[in-house]
């Protein structure tokens, strides 16, 4: 399995994303020598650090770098740092222990990586505050002449060291033929302890290669949690009693290892609720054996989801004898009995195991019921309870809602956020590429974390998950409007043309539906703005200007697919988006032809207008004939939706103007 084309999120990527809009692309940046290094703005970092400030001059990345790392240095952090240095032109990286620094070569940049309280790192950090938080880190870049420049990366734990490296690579900026590291000091830590995704959708699960790539992506964006819970893995749900075949178990072992290398907590979920006999000791033994097999592979986090099952019937007669007639309270009693047993006799007896997680059968509302009352009163306080918000797909999640949910379950809830998942009817034919949004700043005080449920399309999901990672790391500083172009720049490897094309394409796939009739994010807001401006100019008699302005954008729609397929964008995204890209090119061509028809009509060229109108109609027919096939989703073969409700509505209205 090959790695993505580019795994670097450099300062250039984020400088691009911070200025890029759906209008014209920015001019190329001025030479680094044009502005004194110590006064240049710091490049944006994602997720946004808790504290970031400039310390002075940048540090020049020399051809030879000395990396001071000891036995207490996190190996994945060290290896990633070495790889980044070599990717940015460093010819030689000397890794030396802290007790051998007396022989450091002159003229080489020195980087120190390890625990923040290691004496040499503590001295190099100087006044930079070291956060007293798990997964926290402090970073300081002291610039100036190469002989005096040094960089200190100190973590409060191994994960903190790894995240310090993830931040450092975003401080790299091009400087002529070489690179500089922005002179900065950072004190940083995550606001939420659990951050990442849950592969919990219906439909074709991700492949092994796709999951391995996702682990690398999560490491890049400082997400620390992946919950393995694909509904259509038979051994997760229907065949939960059966052990995984040896080949599949080996695959899972490789995945656990890749997750660990990226400081991602692989969380194994098994969902027995559809057939378990809660009171049967044999079923409990089978369940614990399933967990033990994963523990033996290195898994230390486990979940027992009890969602999407009935509590109006039992799976065995013994449960009725043990817990009474089926119903809310009886179901909660049975589930609590199982969960408490697993927490106390498996989790608590296995070294390093994290608290058990569960998804209750009532997971998406704020109504107090006998089910929740029983859970609240009797579930072991250590068990982590997941909640999806006020609905299965909530349009918003507020602090008050989260606080109310936590009170209902007697603990801080862990949000299973059903965005950008696209496995239900209202998402038929859709890629969901809008940013992660409408979650209130301050939720970190009310939640134990958030995991996003992604789409069946793993790489396309990275647009939203990039934002989820940013929000859960620092919810009070998160800005969806800033995060969205940064996510596109990440996918494009910093390429300006490809990033701009992704923003145009993402606008056409912006609509985020719920289970109801009203979407919680609008379709094609940028295109809608431009169409509104077109009609305002058209109706005011400025018809040539109206056509010219919108035609320029229509050309960008037409050309976006080829730019996305041009090689800079991650190949997985291109594959995921293939049918939508095909349709987008046709819709863009149809829009250009329609605007040319309007232009011809305005000029009095009736024949030309009709010819272009017919051409547009033919292209629209071709666009509607495109299908998502073979389908990964439960909705099967479907027409890919592209700017629907905006683009097609404009074309119909414009056709009416041509025919007048």
d(CA 336, CA 358): 10
Phi first, then psi: give them for residue 449, nearest 5 degrees. Answer: 160, 180
Biggest alpha carbon–alpha carbon distance for the chain: 85
Q: Cis (ω within 30 of 0) for the bond into 420?
A: yes
Identify the helix (H) or strand (E) that includes residue 301.
Answer: strand 301-305
89: left (phi over 0), alpha (psi -120 to 50) or beta: left
d(CA 78, CA 340): 40
- Where in the sequence numbering do the catalytic residues fall? 308
d(CA 250, CA 257): 11
CB 580 within 8 A of CB 630: no
CB 285 within 8 A of CB 297: no
CA dihedral 160, 165, 171, 173 (to 10 degrees): -170
Identify the helix (H) or strand (E) that includes residue 335.
Answer: helix 328-345
Six-digit token string for 659: 């025919």
The owner of tokens 């729609």 is: 557
Spatial neighbors of 281 by CB under 8 A, at least 6 apart, are: none
d(CA 602, CA 616): 17
CB 155 within 8 A of CB 137: yes
CA dist 68 → 90, 145, 352, 514 (Å): 16, 19, 30, 51
Identify the helix (H) or strand (E) that includes residue 450.
Answer: strand 447-452
CA dist 593 → 39, 553, 610, 642, 658 (Å): 49, 13, 10, 17, 12
CB 456 within 8 A of CB 632: yes
* Cα three-residue angle 241-243-249, rounded to 5 degrees: 145
Alpha helices by DSSP H, listed for 454-577, are 462-473, 480-491, 496-508, 525-539, 543-564, 571-576
Six-digit token string for 324: 């009474």
């Amino acid at each position: 399995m090959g790695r993505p084309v580019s795994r670097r999120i450099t300062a250039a990527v984020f400088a691009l994303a911070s200025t890029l809009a759906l209008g014209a692309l920015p001019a190329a940046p001025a030479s680094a020598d044009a502005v004194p290094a110590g006064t240049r703005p710091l490049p944006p970092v994602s997720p946004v650090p808790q504290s970031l400030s400039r310390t002075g001059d940048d540090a020049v990345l020399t051809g030879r770098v000395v990396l001071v790392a000891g036995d207490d240095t996190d190996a994945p952090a060290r290896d990633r740092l070495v790889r980044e240095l070599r990717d940015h032109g460093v010819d030689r990286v000397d890794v030396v222990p802290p007790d051998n620094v007396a022989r450091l070569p002159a003229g080489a940049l020195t980087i120190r990586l390890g625990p923040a309280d290691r004496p040499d790192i503590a001295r190099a950090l100087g006044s930079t505050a070291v956060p007293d938080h798990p997964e926290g880190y402090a970073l300081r870049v002291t610039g100036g002449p190469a002989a005096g420049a040094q960089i200190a990366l100190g973590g409060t734990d191994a994960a903190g060291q790894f995240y310090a490296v993830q931040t450092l690579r975003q401080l790299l900026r091009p400087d002529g033929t070489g690179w500089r590291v922005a002179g900065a000091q950072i004190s940083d830590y995550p606001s939420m302890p659990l951050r990442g995704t849950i592969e919990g959708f219906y439909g074709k699960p991700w492949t092994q290669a796709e999951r391995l790539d996702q682990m690398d992506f999560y490491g890049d964006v400082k997400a620390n949690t992946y919950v393995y819970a694909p509904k259509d893995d038979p051994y997760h749900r229907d065949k939960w009693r059966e052990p995984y075949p040896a080949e599949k178990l080996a695959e899972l072992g490789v995945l656990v290892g890749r997750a660990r290398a990226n400081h991602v907590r692989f969380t194994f979920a098994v969902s027995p609720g559809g057939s378990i006999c809660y009171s049967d000791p044999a079923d409990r033994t089978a369940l614990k054996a399933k967990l033990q097999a994963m523990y033996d592979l290195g898994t230390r986090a486990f979940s027992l989801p009890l969602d999407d099952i009935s509590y109006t019937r039992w799976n065995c007669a013994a449960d009725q004898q043990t817990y009474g007639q089926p119903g809310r309270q009886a179901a909660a009693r049975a589930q609590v009995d199982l969960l408490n047993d697993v927490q106390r006799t498996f989790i608590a007896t296995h070294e390093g195991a994290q608290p058990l997680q569960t998804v209750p059968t009532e997971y998406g509302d704020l109504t107090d019921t006998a089910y929740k009352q029983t859970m609240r009163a009797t579930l072991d306080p250590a068990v982590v309870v997941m909640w999806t918000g006020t609905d299965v797909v909530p349009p918003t999640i507020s602090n008050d809602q989260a606080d109310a949910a936590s009170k209902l379950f007697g603990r801080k809830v862990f949000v299973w956020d059903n965005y950008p998942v696209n496995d239900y009817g209202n998402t038929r034919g859709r890629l969901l590429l809008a940013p992660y949004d409408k979650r209130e700043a301050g939720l970190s005080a009310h939640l134990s974390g958030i995991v996003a449920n992604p789409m069946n399309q793993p790489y396309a999901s990275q647009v939203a998950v990039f934002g989820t990672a940013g929000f859960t790391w620092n919810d009070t500083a998160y800005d969806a409007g800033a995060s969205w172009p940064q996510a596109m720049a990440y996918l494009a490897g910093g390429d300006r043309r490809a990033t701009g094309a992704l923003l145009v394409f993402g606008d056409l796939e912006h609509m985020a539906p719920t289970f109801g009739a009203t979407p919680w994010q609008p379709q094609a807001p940028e295109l809608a703005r431009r169409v509104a401006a077109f009609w305002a100019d058209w109706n005011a008699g400025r018809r040539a200007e109206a056509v010219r302005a919108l035609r320029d954008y229509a050309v960008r729609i037409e050309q976006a697919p080829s730019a996305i397929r041009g090689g800079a964008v991650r190949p997985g995204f291109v594959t995921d988006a293939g049918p939508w890209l095909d349709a987008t090119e046709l819709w863009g061509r149809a829009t250009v032809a329609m605007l040319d028809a309007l232009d011809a009509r305005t000029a009095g060229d009736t024949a030309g207008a009709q010819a272009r109108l017919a051409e547009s109609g033919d292209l629209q027919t071709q666009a509607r004939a495109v299908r998502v096939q073979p389908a990964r989703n439960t909705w099967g073969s479907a027409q890919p939706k592209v700017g629907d409700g905006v683009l097609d509505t404009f074309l119909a209205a414009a056709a009416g103007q041509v025919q007048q």
